[in-house]
Amino acid sequence: MIKKHILGALALSMLIPLGVSAQTLTTKSDTKAAATTQKDPARVPYASQIKLEKQTIKTNNKTNQTIKAAIKGKLVQVKTLIAQDKTNKTLKAKKDALKAERAVIKADKTSLKGITVKLVADKKIAKTDVTNKNYAALVSDLNNIASLQTSETPILQKLSSDLDTLISSLSK
Protein backbone atom coordinates (compact mmCIF):
# COMPACT_ATOMS: atom_id res chain seq x y z
CA MET A 1 0.00 0.00 0.00
CA ILE A 2 2.84 2.36 0.81
CA LYS A 3 4.43 1.47 -2.51
CA LYS A 4 1.29 2.62 -4.34
CA HIS A 5 1.37 5.99 -2.56
CA ILE A 6 5.06 6.43 -3.30
CA LEU A 7 4.53 5.60 -6.97
CA GLY A 8 1.55 7.97 -7.11
CA ALA A 9 3.54 10.78 -5.49
CA LEU A 10 6.43 10.13 -7.87
CA ALA A 11 4.15 10.25 -10.90
CA LEU A 12 2.51 13.42 -9.63
CA SER A 13 5.87 15.07 -9.02
CA MET A 14 6.82 14.37 -12.63
CA LEU A 15 3.69 16.06 -13.89
CA ILE A 16 3.88 19.19 -11.76
CA PRO A 17 7.31 20.81 -11.30
CA LEU A 18 8.32 21.94 -7.84
CA GLY A 19 7.13 25.40 -6.87
CA VAL A 20 4.42 25.51 -9.53
CA SER A 21 0.91 24.58 -8.67
CA ALA A 22 -1.80 23.56 -11.09
CA GLN A 23 -3.63 26.82 -10.38
CA THR A 24 -0.70 29.01 -11.49
CA LEU A 25 -0.35 26.96 -14.66
CA THR A 26 -3.94 27.66 -15.67
CA THR A 27 -3.80 31.36 -14.79
CA LYS A 28 -0.66 31.85 -16.90
CA SER A 29 -2.29 30.26 -19.92
CA ASP A 30 -5.47 32.29 -19.35
CA THR A 31 -3.55 35.58 -19.26
CA LYS A 32 -1.62 34.61 -22.37
CA ALA A 33 -4.85 33.80 -24.19
CA ALA A 34 -6.35 37.11 -23.09
CA ALA A 35 -3.28 38.99 -24.29
CA THR A 36 -3.40 37.40 -27.73
CA THR A 37 -7.07 38.21 -28.23
CA GLN A 38 -6.52 41.92 -27.53
CA LYS A 39 -5.36 43.84 -30.59
CA ASP A 40 -2.88 46.68 -30.58
CA PRO A 41 -5.09 49.78 -30.87
CA ALA A 42 -2.46 51.60 -32.94
CA ARG A 43 -2.53 48.80 -35.53
CA VAL A 44 -6.29 48.70 -36.03
CA PRO A 45 -6.50 51.48 -38.69
CA TYR A 46 -3.75 49.83 -40.74
CA ALA A 47 -4.74 46.19 -40.28
CA SER A 48 -6.60 45.79 -43.58
CA GLN A 49 -3.82 47.48 -45.56
CA ILE A 50 -1.16 45.36 -43.86
CA LYS A 51 -3.14 42.19 -44.56
CA LEU A 52 -3.59 43.13 -48.22
CA GLU A 53 0.10 43.93 -48.69
CA LYS A 54 1.13 40.69 -46.97
CA GLN A 55 -1.14 38.70 -49.31
CA THR A 56 0.40 40.46 -52.32
CA ILE A 57 3.90 39.72 -51.02
CA LYS A 58 2.97 36.07 -50.46
CA THR A 59 1.63 35.59 -54.00
CA ASN A 60 4.61 37.43 -55.53
CA ASN A 61 6.98 35.29 -53.48
CA LYS A 62 5.25 32.09 -54.58
CA THR A 63 5.48 33.15 -58.24
CA ASN A 64 9.14 34.09 -57.96
CA GLN A 65 10.01 30.89 -56.09
CA THR A 66 8.39 28.82 -58.84
CA ILE A 67 10.46 30.59 -61.49
CA LYS A 68 13.62 30.23 -59.38
CA ALA A 69 13.03 26.49 -59.03
CA ALA A 70 12.72 26.20 -62.81
CA ILE A 71 15.94 28.21 -63.21
CA LYS A 72 17.78 25.84 -60.85
CA GLY A 73 16.67 22.89 -62.96
CA LYS A 74 17.84 24.61 -66.12
CA LEU A 75 21.23 25.39 -64.56
CA VAL A 76 21.68 21.69 -63.78
CA GLN A 77 20.78 20.90 -67.37
CA VAL A 78 23.33 23.46 -68.64
CA LYS A 79 26.05 21.91 -66.49
CA THR A 80 25.33 18.42 -67.78
CA LEU A 81 25.30 19.63 -71.39
CA ILE A 82 28.64 21.40 -70.90
CA ALA A 83 30.11 18.24 -69.37
CA GLN A 84 28.86 16.21 -72.35
CA ASP A 85 30.32 18.71 -74.81
CA LYS A 86 33.66 18.60 -73.01
CA THR A 87 33.80 14.82 -73.31
CA ASN A 88 32.74 14.97 -76.98
CA LYS A 89 35.18 17.85 -77.59
CA THR A 90 32.49 19.95 -79.30
CA LEU A 91 32.60 22.79 -76.79
CA LYS A 92 35.26 24.79 -78.66
CA ALA A 93 33.05 25.08 -81.74
CA LYS A 94 30.27 26.66 -79.66
CA LYS A 95 32.57 28.96 -77.69
CA ASP A 96 31.62 32.32 -79.26
CA ALA A 97 27.88 31.75 -78.95
CA LEU A 98 28.31 30.60 -75.37
CA LYS A 99 30.30 33.71 -74.42
CA ALA A 100 27.54 35.98 -75.71
CA GLU A 101 24.86 34.04 -73.83
CA ARG A 102 26.93 34.01 -70.64
CA ALA A 103 27.27 37.81 -70.83
CA VAL A 104 23.49 38.21 -71.12
CA ILE A 105 22.90 35.81 -68.22
CA LYS A 106 25.50 37.59 -66.11
CA ALA A 107 23.74 40.93 -66.71
CA ASP A 108 20.44 39.37 -65.64
CA LYS A 109 22.01 38.01 -62.45
CA THR A 110 23.55 41.41 -61.67
CA SER A 111 20.20 43.17 -61.95
CA LEU A 112 18.63 40.47 -59.76
CA LYS A 113 21.36 40.96 -57.17
CA GLY A 114 20.54 44.68 -56.95
CA ILE A 115 16.86 43.96 -56.36
CA THR A 116 17.69 41.27 -53.79
CA VAL A 117 19.85 43.70 -51.80
CA LYS A 118 17.00 46.22 -51.75
CA LEU A 119 14.51 43.51 -50.72
CA VAL A 120 16.65 42.39 -47.80
CA ALA A 121 17.08 45.98 -46.61
CA ASP A 122 13.35 46.71 -46.87
CA LYS A 123 12.48 43.50 -44.99
CA LYS A 124 14.79 44.53 -42.14
CA ILE A 125 13.20 47.98 -42.04
CA ALA A 126 9.74 46.38 -41.97
CA LYS A 127 10.76 44.21 -39.01
CA THR A 128 11.96 47.25 -37.08
CA ASP A 129 8.71 49.03 -37.92
CA VAL A 130 6.78 46.12 -36.41
CA THR A 131 8.86 46.15 -33.23
CA ASN A 132 8.55 49.94 -32.96
CA LYS A 133 4.81 49.72 -33.76
CA ASN A 134 5.21 52.22 -36.58
CA TYR A 135 2.38 50.84 -38.70
CA ALA A 136 2.11 53.73 -41.18
CA ALA A 137 5.73 53.18 -42.19
CA LEU A 138 5.14 49.42 -42.21
CA VAL A 139 2.41 49.76 -44.83
CA SER A 140 4.77 51.82 -46.97
CA ASP A 141 7.61 49.32 -46.52
CA LEU A 142 5.37 46.37 -47.37
CA ASN A 143 4.24 48.21 -50.50
CA ASN A 144 7.91 48.73 -51.47
CA ILE A 145 8.63 45.04 -50.91
CA ALA A 146 5.68 44.03 -53.11
CA SER A 147 6.75 46.40 -55.90
CA LEU A 148 10.35 45.11 -55.75
CA GLN A 149 9.08 41.55 -55.99
CA THR A 150 6.91 42.54 -58.94
CA SER A 151 9.91 44.09 -60.68
CA GLU A 152 11.92 40.93 -59.95
CA THR A 153 9.48 38.64 -61.78
CA PRO A 154 10.18 39.80 -65.38
CA ILE A 155 13.93 39.63 -64.77
CA LEU A 156 13.58 36.07 -63.52
CA GLN A 157 11.49 35.21 -66.58
CA LYS A 158 14.12 36.77 -68.86
CA LEU A 159 16.85 34.79 -67.10
CA SER A 160 14.82 31.62 -67.59
CA SER A 161 14.37 32.29 -71.31
CA ASP A 162 18.08 33.15 -71.65
CA LEU A 163 18.92 29.82 -70.06
CA ASP A 164 16.57 28.14 -72.55
CA THR A 165 18.51 29.81 -75.36
CA LEU A 166 21.78 28.62 -73.84
CA ILE A 167 20.43 25.09 -73.54
CA SER A 168 19.30 25.08 -77.17
CA SER A 169 22.70 26.34 -78.34
CA LEU A 170 24.45 23.68 -76.27
CA SER A 171 22.14 20.96 -77.60
CA LYS A 172 23.08 21.59 -81.24
Span 84-112, mean pLDDT? Answer: 87
Instruction: Identify the pLDDT of residue 17.
Output: 53
Report CA torsion sign: 105, 106, 111, 116.
Answer: positive
CA distance 146 to 148: 5
Other Cβ atoms closer than 10 A to 135: 19
Domain assignment of residue 163, yes or no: yes
Query: Which residue type, as a one-letter code, is found at position 8?
Result: G
In a domain, 134, yes or no: yes
Residue 22 has pLDDT above 70, yes or no: no
In which domain, by residue range, is 98 found?
64-172
**Would 30 be classed as within a structural domain?**
no
Is pLDDT above 60 for 151? yes
- Between CA 18 and CA 27 the distance in angstroms is 17
**Which residue in 134, 152, 112 sits closest to 50, CA to CA?**
134
pTM of the shown model: 0.71
12 lies in some domain = no
Q: What distance in Å separates the CA atoms of residue 86 and residue 78, rounded to the nearest whole number? A: 12
Domain contains 165:
yes
How many structural domains does the chain have? 1
- Would you say residue 9 lies in a domain? no
Examine residue 45 and state whether it is found in any structural domain, yes or no. Answer: no
- Residue 33: the pLDDT is 44
122 lies in some domain: yes
Q: Which percentage of the chain shows pLDDT scores above 70?
A: 77
Among candidates 150, 119, 140, 151, which has minimal Cα distance to 49?
A: 140
| pLDDT for the residue 6 | 62
For residues 19 and 147, which has the higher predicted lDDT (pLDDT)? 147
